[in-house]
Amino acid sequence: MKKIVILFLILLTAIWLGLIMHANPGYVLIAYKSWSLETTLWAALLAILLLFIILHFLIALFRRANIASGYVYSWSLERHLRKARRQTNLGLCEWAEGKWAQAEKKLLKSAKYSEVPLLNYLIAARAAQNEGEYDKRDTYLRMAHESTPGVEVAVGLTQAQLQVSAKQLERALATLTHLSRLVPKHTYVMQLLQQVYVELHDWKSLQDLLPALHKYKVLKPQKLQDLERNLYLQLLTQGTKENNFEYLSDTWSKVPRELQNDPELLLVYSNALIENKRGIEAEKLLRNTLKKSWDHKLVEKYSMITDVDANKRLAIAESWLKTHDNDPILLLCLGRLCKQQQLWGKAQRYLEISKTLKTTPAAYHELGQVMEALGNKEAALDYYSKQ
């Protein structure tokens, strides 16, 4: 019933409008240059209404099409992202399993849609390195740098690590030198730099880096001390080979106080002192060190000093017998010192005891010389044959 009433009212309204339009049709003229259009007012209004409806329909259709294309794009993108995640995970697993070629292929293929493309390229670079493909490795590292802003240090450190691992030390040095200018306080850059300097035997550069290694605590204390000890040992050995005593003396002055008592360092430096006729300095260094720390090599080196008063050295060495009376190396040293003083009998006694406690070629050699000096050639030859 309600619908019939509504339809009846619509019909009455239409009849009323029809009567009005027939009674007052109106007039509309549209003219442009030589072109003109004449129509009634009501026809013009109807045309405008129809045009509005058509435009509204087209706009709605365009919006729906745009929304639909957005849905399609989002669906496609999500599909690519899911596939990229799956391929990246597979690539990482294959890399961990040592399947370098397969890992490289999957990681590169999924890098475009990966949420972290930097990771894809960096692992692909490591895979290429493991295959020995260094040019491809460098290409992937460059792609990693271009894929993500602000990763120059991260990519550079990866590149340096791979270059060190591949023994491309000169390239690694160039990479790390550049990084040290970008991030001068970066401890891992310093750590890799010291490693490269050691492998290149670039001791002077390592010496220059040493203060920063201490300041920023780049290495654990014991490892840093071992590194420092090896550094000065190499520098002193280098100075000895070059027979450059001025360089040796300058290097020794830079050796930390706690390392100046190190037997191996002291042995190298005291030997240089002895060879350069600086026995007084060598004797003092050796004597002071042996008071604190007993070392057989230093005791033996003490017996080789020749340009210091022999009586003084013999008296000092004999005073060590109070605490080291059964030390064969000390007794060998005393035999040599007595021999230098031509105290043949005393020298023979010390050397015989030394030989009894520990048989060494040096003891037999020294006994041979003592016997030869005493005119006992037969005994001398016997000792020489046993050395």
Same-domain check for residues 300 and 317:
no
Residue 35 lies in a domain: no
Specify if 325 maps to a domain.
yes
Tell me the residue range of the domain where 143 lies.
Answer: 78-149
The domain boundary, picked from 268, 291, 306, lies at 306
Which of these, 202, 255, 228, lies nearest to 193 by C-alpha position? 202
Based on the fold, state whether residues 381 and 319 are members of the same structural domain: yes
pLDDT at 325: 87
Q: Is residue 270 part of a domain?
A: yes
Residues 59-97 have pLDDT tens digits of 767 776 565 455 554 555 466 667 767 888 888 888 888
176 and 109 in one domain? no
Residue 386 lies in a domain: yes
Residue 170 lies in a domain: yes
Looking at the predicted structure, is the pLDDT value of residue 54 above 90?
A: no
Q: Residue 92 sits in a domain of what CATH number?
A: 1.25.40.10
Residue 23 within any structural domain of the chain: no
207 and 248 both lie in a single domain: no
Handedness of CA 7, 12, 17, 21 (dihedral sign): positive
**pLDDT top residue among 365 and 103:** 365
What integer pLDDT is reported at residue 77 of this predicted model?
A: 46
Mean local confidence (pLDDT), 22-34: 62
Task: Say if 246 falls within a structural domain.
Answer: yes
**What average pLDDT is seen over the chain?**
86
Angstrom distances, CA of residue 246 to CA of 250, 251, 276, 305: 6, 9, 11, 20
DSSP secondary-structure letter at 358? S
CA separation, residue 229 to residues 103, 139, 256 (Å): 43, 40, 9
Residues whose CB is less than 8 angstroms from the CB of residue 166 and which lie 6 or more positions away in sequence, other chains included: 129, 134
Tokens 């690519």 -> residue: 80
In a domain, 56, yes or no: no
DSSP 109-120: HTTTT-S-HHHH
| Residue where a domain terminates, one of 263, 291, 306 | 306
- Among the candidates 149, 171, 188, a domain finishes at 149
- Please, what is the angle between helix 361-373 and helix 344-357, to 10°? 160
pTM over 0.75: no
Least confident of 6-10, 185-189, 229-233: 6-10
Please tell me whether residues 340 and 371 are part of one structural domain: yes
Averaged over 26-32, what is the pLDDT?
A: 62
If one counts the domains in the chain, the total is 4
Please indicate, yes or no, whether residues 199 and 235 belong to a single structural domain of this protein.
no
